[in-house]
A and B are shown apart, each in its own frame.
Chain A
Amino acid sequence: MQRIPVMLMLSLSLLFSVNEARALGAEKPWFGGLYTGFCGFSEQTGLPAAEYLAAGLFAEPLSIPVLNPALLCGVLIPLSPADIDGMRVQVAGELTIVDLPVSFLKNRFYITGCWSPGVGAQYQFTFDRRTSAFSVLIAPLRFRAGDGIFTFGSIELFLFRGVELQGWGFTLFKAALFLF
């Protein structure tokens, strides 16, 4: 019976000793997280015809409203048909051009979203480094909502020697979820 007041005091002291919770404002509390998406590449790129799964980690260290940079690093896995030997590493840099609140989606989704078009550059290579490719990313249908960034229908333009268009890639859907 003597333990009950002690436990109560201890619980209350723990409850009141924690820091006040920070309200979520314009400054986001996250640094980075996990991304995953589905993509494919035109035959001119020389990549095997397949549906690819892209997955990896990303970091968005700043929280600026214009030209906000992010870094992505992950793998591209040919999913269908499955081909482990066709796996590639991808390293990309992305810039969110601007974050604009989209009011017309307010009555459809329970969280307020922002239209966040992005551009970027990507370098991808096989594990044995025998083949590599450089591409420019254009993501006009990119939305930031809650703790994620959702991209629909982004285009990759593959450049040969940095200038000549070699082929294109298409990302059907990509979700980047902030975790840390």
Chain B
Amino acid sequence: MYGKGRIKSWAIVLLWGIILVLPVWNAGASGFGLTFSTNTFSGSGQSEDSAAPPGLYCRGGLAWLPGKHLEIELYHIPQITPRLYSQVFFGCSAGYWILERKENSYLNAVVEAGFLYGLDQTKLLNLKITPIVFGCPAFRYAEKFCSLGLLFDLERKRLFWQLQLLAVTLYL
């Protein structure tokens, strides 16, 4: 009855619906959060046939912070321009908050390792460092600044950069 494209469109609409509506949910502080961030891919030879064609991307997903140091994230990075959703990456990452998360700790830094899968079957490995993190689940809010990542394209055997200037996480 519905084509694959239509199901994909509804799945994307549903995903963004959840991401945009859940931040106003005021349950007690938990280790779950919704993340939104800017996302810049950069590297020599960035072209239409590269893993991440030039354009504007954003990043949205779900974060889970078990224990005092760990962070698990599921996210997707859609291309917005020049053609909406012409490339989409789905990713997961495991991060380690350098300083122990306490009730009153406000400043931190994070190192992460992850894997991204593009809808064109691109597979990327990701290593990322975030030098500045303000906030934590106790504040129900965290801001990550100047995250710098290194991506390795397993198909094309190429390295390129990822910069997330600002990432905001709203904890549920």
Contacts and interface: CB of A to CB of B under 8 A. Distances in A.
Nearest to B26: A107
Contacts of A173: 38, 166
Nearest to B57: A51
A104 B24 contact: yes
B81 A169 contact: yes
B45 to A, nearest CB: 9
B2 to A, nearest CB: 26
B54 interface: yes
B141 interface: yes
B81 to A, nearest CB: 3
Contact of A81 (B54, B81, B166): B54
A40 B38 contact: no
A42 interface: yes
A105 B23 CA distance: 9
A49 B82 CA distance: 6
Interface residues of A, number: 24
Given A80-B40, A80-B41, A108-B170, A42 B82 contact: yes
A92 interface: no
A42 B79 CA distance: 11
A107 B25 CA distance: 11
A38 B58 CA distance: 10
A66 B58 CA distance: 32
B56 A42 contact: no
Given A81-B46, A104-B24, A39 B140 contact: no
B40 A170 contact: no
Interface of A: 38-43, 48-52, 79-82, 104-105, 107-109, 169-170, 172-173
26 contacts: A38-B38, A38-B40, A38-B56, A39-B56, A40-B81, A42-B81, A42-B82, A43-B81, A48-B54, A49-B53, A50-B54, A50-B56, A51-B54, A51-B56, A51-B57, A79-B40, A80-B40, A80-B42, A81-B54, A82-B42, A108-B23, A108-B141, A109-B141, A170-B56, A170-B80, A172-B58
